[in-house]
Amino acid sequence: MDLKGPKIKDYMKRVIVEPEKKVNLAKYDTGWAQTEELKDLGEKKAQEKLVRMLEESRTTLEKSQDILWSDRSYGILIVLQGMDTAGKDGTIRHVMSGVNPQGCSVNGFKVPSAEEHSHDFLWRYYNVLPQRGKIGIFNRSYYEDVLVVKVHPERLETLPQDLGADNDGFWKGRYKDITAFEKHLVRNGVVVLKFFLHISKDEQKRRLLDRLEHKDKYWKFSVADLAERQYWDDYMEAYEEMLSATSTDYAPWFIVPADFKWVARTFVAEVLVSAIEGLNLSYPKVNEETVKQLMEAKAKLENE
């Protein structure tokens, strides 16, 4: 897979996190004016353009997924991370709306259960990885174990005391566990694409308020989200450290500008399409002998 090749557009390359690069999230614009071209178009026309691109990507994706399934050697894992209201659910709905439901799986991860906590932190993710030929989406992921848990160390599972969960080295160890896990996946034919939906704190306020202003959105609001918002800066710091430590050539992070849903969705769709195209797959070739048998079957059916 060549994520830096010509199939990836320039503005996407800009938001791939280079391995070991120190990430400063404040330097990543969360808005829509991501390129000179979009800027020149202005917001309304830029939106029209990106919505059209999303439509095209969805059509391509439908076909790409069919080929991925027929080839049955690669699996695709999409990891979606972001603060509350960043648009993870909507992105999944819009990007995947055209694909065959049999060819994809979506798993969301909540606070781990007692059983999950009684295993190592990767256990619960491992069993629900996508099979070959499928696209699997993780709505939150093992990255929560170095994000929410790092911001609130009291939520860490019980570990032997001598593992030093209270020191900095502990988190570095977890980053290493994660990159080793992803290396293992890639070596076994899983393409790993990781998206951080990056919204501004102001935009989160608007989205939370929106949930409180519409009765049919009340269900989306959780008082806990407001409590987490107080830790915004701690989260940004945890994200920055995590992004710097876990973006690799084989499993890169994309920092997706997400204040405008039409930007984030188009972006994720484009990267996904480019990544699958980069695999250069085609429908399995049928040999001459099989074609002969197929034609005989056809003739039999026609002559019934």
The answer to whether 229 contacts ligand AMP (rule: CB under 6 A) is: no
The answer to whether 87 contacts ligand AMP (rule: CB under 6 A) is: no
Work out which of 34, 144, 204, 259 binds ligand AMP, going by CB under 6 A: 144
Structure tokens at 95: 């990007």
Interacting partner of 175 out of Mg ion, ligand AMP, none (Cβ under 5 to 8 A depending on kind): none
Site string for Mg ion, 76-105 (x = CB under 5 A): --------x---------------------
The answer to whether 145 contacts ligand AMP (rule: CB under 6 A) is: yes
Q: Residue by residue, what is the 3-state secondary structure of the chain?
A: CCCCCCCCCHHHHHCECCCCCCCCHHHCCCCCCCCHHHHHHHHHHHHHHHHHHHHHHHHHHHHHHHHHHHHCCCEEEEEEEECCCCCHHHHHHHHCCCCCHHHEEEEECCCCCHHHHCCCCCHHHHCCCCCCCCEEEEECCHHHHHCHHHHCHHHCCCCCHHHCCCCHHHHHHHHHHHHHHHHHHHHCCEEEEEEEEECCHHHHHHHHHHHHHCHHHHHHCCHHHHHHHCCHHHHHHHHHHHHHHHCCCCCCEEEEECCCHHHHHHHHHHHHHHHHHCCCCCCCCCCHHHHHHHHHHHHHHHCC
The least distance separating Mg ion from the CB of residue 222, rounded to whole angstroms, comes to: 5
The answer to whether 163 contacts ligand AMP (rule: CB under 6 A) is: no
**By C-beta, is 64 or 204 nearer to Mg ion?**
204
The least distance separating ligand AMP from the CB of residue 245, rounded to whole angstroms, comes to: 17
Total residues in contact with Mg ion, by rule CB under 5 A: 1
Binding segment for ligand AMP among 31-39, 71-79, 141-149, 179-187 (CB under 6 A)?
Answer: 141-149
Interacting partner of 286 out of Mg ion, ligand AMP, none (Cβ under 5 to 8 A depending on kind): none
The answer to whether 111 contacts ligand AMP (rule: CB under 6 A) is: yes
The answer to whether 110 contacts ligand AMP (rule: CB under 6 A) is: yes
The least distance separating ligand AMP from the CB of residue 109, rounded to whole angstroms, comes to: 5
The answer to whether 155 contacts ligand AMP (rule: CB under 6 A) is: yes
| Interface with Mg ion (CB under 5 A) | 84
Binding site for ligand AMP (CB under 6 A): 109-112, 140, 144-145, 148-149, 155
